[in-house]
Amino acid sequence: MRRIPWGFLLALLIPLLLGLAAGLVYSWTISPARVFDTEPLLLRPDFKDQYRSAIAAAYAATGNLPRAQARLSLLGDDDPIETLNAQAQRMLASGQSFEQADQVAALALALGDHGSVVPTSTKEVVTEIANNTNNNTSTATLPPPPPDVPIELTEMPQTIETQPTQPVIVESTPRPTRTPLATPGAPFRLTGQDTTCDPNLPDGLLQVIVSNSNRRQMAGIEIIVTWDGGEEQFFTGFKPEIGNGYADFVMNPNITYTVQLGRGSDIATGLTTPTCQTSGGETFFGGIKLTFQQP
């Protein structure tokens, strides 16, 4: 059998390898592929989180809720409010900036307060952003007047006549009003301290509920529990099935606790596990429910 000479094989392989290497260098270094006009919907989950954080920061600075809704719609989330709440909880659990997590939670709260519908198509988003831009600048674009027709300008809504029989009414667009939000730095008041005697609950359960001035529960609020020789911090919002502003802590008997919120609040002192009694005369340890609210 006739063998193929090695020199012939090398003569074939070397040009192929050199061509492959040249192609890789060109496609990776000299002229890498670039993607243009992509949509936020196609981003990776971690990049989507960064996109939501940027939207929340912009909303915190401008208070423009319609624009924030339009931008969120580009991500295609099934439930933007729940998605924002879940991201705020992940940010707190991973040790990220509390201020950024609070901005994300505040945007979710604002969406829930207004119950607004987020646009679902790109065309609606572009229209929404354009409308908001026009509202912010309060300007109106007029068709050019015909020659030799005087234009009279006043500060009041006026009529500009382009033809003797066809007046055009021009009125200034009203400026949008800022969405009222609870002041982030406002202290919280202790509005309720109740003893709970429910045998279906864990013994010594300390329940904390935090809400804003409109009685909307607030997620991402730090709670500090201290006792003689110990301290623990936890946050509201990790049990959304109960409430966005709900958090709990299990107290031990014969220990006195103090509770306050990390962002400033009244202090609940002298908290101990109460003793309760069932209808049959059996005793068990009850719990305490604390309610904090912004004034």
pLDDT at site 37: 57
pLDDT in tens, 223-262: 999 999 999 998 998 888 888 899 999 999 989 999 999 8
Lowest mean pLDDT among 1-5, 27-31, 72-76, 79-83: 1-5
- Exposure string of 43-76, with b = 16+ CB inside 10 Å and e = fewer, is eeeeebbebbbebbebbbeebbbbbbbbbbbbbe
- The answer, yes or no, to whether residue 86 has pLDDT greater than 70, is yes
| Mean pLDDT value across residues 76-103 | 88
CA distance 140 to 142: 6
- The answer, yes or no, to whether residue 145 has pLDDT greater than 70, is no
- The answer, yes or no, to whether residue 126 has pLDDT greater than 50, is no
- Longest Cα pair distance anywhere in the chain, in angstroms? 103
Name the percent of the chain lying above pLDDT 90. Answer: 26
pLDDT at site 123: 45
- Enumerate domains of the chain plus CATH numbers: 40-114 (no CATH), 140-172 (no CATH), 189-293 (2.60.40.10)
9 versus 239: the higher-pLDDT residue is 239
- The answer, yes or no, to whether residue 142 has pLDDT greater than 60, is no
Q: Are 142 and 91 in contact (CB under 8 A)?
A: no
- The answer, yes or no, to whether residue 172 has pLDDT greater than 70, is no
pLDDT at site 119: 47
Q: Are 182 and 212 in contact (CB under 8 A)?
A: yes
| Mean pLDDT value across residues 65-77 | 89
- The answer, yes or no, to whether residue 80 has pLDDT greater than 60, is yes
| Mean pLDDT value across residues 260-276 | 90
pLDDT at site 41: 81
Please name the residue ranges forming H helices in the chain.
Answer: 6-25, 45-62, 65-73, 80-93, 98-114, 122-137
**Tokens 């949008």 belong to which residue?**
176
- Asked whether the whole model's pTM tops 0.75, one would answer no
pLDDT at site 3: 66
**Residue 229, CA atoms < 13 Å, CB-side half-sphere:** 1
Q: In a 3-state reduction of DSSP, which class is residue 78?
A: coil
76 versus 185: the higher-pLDDT residue is 76
- Amino acid, res. 33: A
> Residue 166: pLDDT band by 50, 70, 90 thresholds?
low
pLDDT in tens, 176-206: 444 444 445 568 999 999 999 998 899 999 9
pLDDT at site 204: 93
Nearest CA to 261 among 191, 205, 179, 180?
Answer: 191
Mean of pLDDT over the chain: 78
pLDDT at site 148: 46
